[in-house]
Amino acid sequence: KQEVTQIPAALSVPEGENLVLNCSFTDSAIYNLQWFRQDPGKGLTSLLLIQSSQREQTSGRLNASLDKSSGRSTLYIAASQPGDSATYLCAVTRGSQGNLIFGKGTKLSVKP
C-alpha cells in the first residue's frame, strides 16, 4: 500500500531564507508526483508536477526534484517571502485514472 510522508510537519523561517520541504513515498510505481499549495480554508493549487521519467521541474522560485528509486522528492523554495506562507502538500498518482495519494503536508510560515 502506497504511503506518502512529509517532513517536517511545520516550518518557520525568516524572510529571504532558502528552504527545502521533503516528501517520501513507499512504492516507486508512480505515474507522477505533484506539489500543491493550500492556503487556510481554501482549495488546493497545483505548483509543480514531475512525470515519472523526469528528475526535476522548475517554476520561478520553486524547484522540485524526484528520485523514484529512493522514493523521495524535495521542494526547494528560494528567497522565501511572507506570501509563501501556506501548507504544502505532496501527492503521488496511482492508477490510470489519476487517483492521488497525499502526504499530510508541511505548514510553512515565513516571518517578515
Partner 1 sequence: DVKVTQSSRYLVKRTGEKVFLECVQDMDHENMFWYRQDPGLGLRLIYFSYDVKMKEKGDIPEGYSVSREKKERFSLILESASTNQTSMYLCASSLQYYSNSDTQYFGPGTRLTVL
Q: What is the Cα–Cα distance from 108 to 88, expressed in whole angstroms?
A: 7
| Count of residues touching partner 1 (by CB under 8 A) | 26
Nearer to partner 1, 52 or 85 (CB): 52
Piece in contact with partner 1 (CB under 8 A), picked from 10-18, 20-28, 44-52, 61-69: 44-52
Q: Is residue 58 a contact residue for partner 1 (CB under 8 A)?
A: no
| Cβ contact 99:46 at 8 Å | no
Ramachandran bin of 48, using left for φ above 0, alpha for ψ from -120 to 50, beta for the remaining angles: beta
Q: What is the Cα–Cα distance from 29 to 45, expressed in whole angstroms?
A: 24
Nearer to partner 1, 21 or 80 (CB): 21
Which residues would be at the binding site for partner 1 (CB under 8 A)?
Answer: 31-32, 34, 36, 41-46, 49, 51-53, 89, 91, 93, 96-100, 102-105
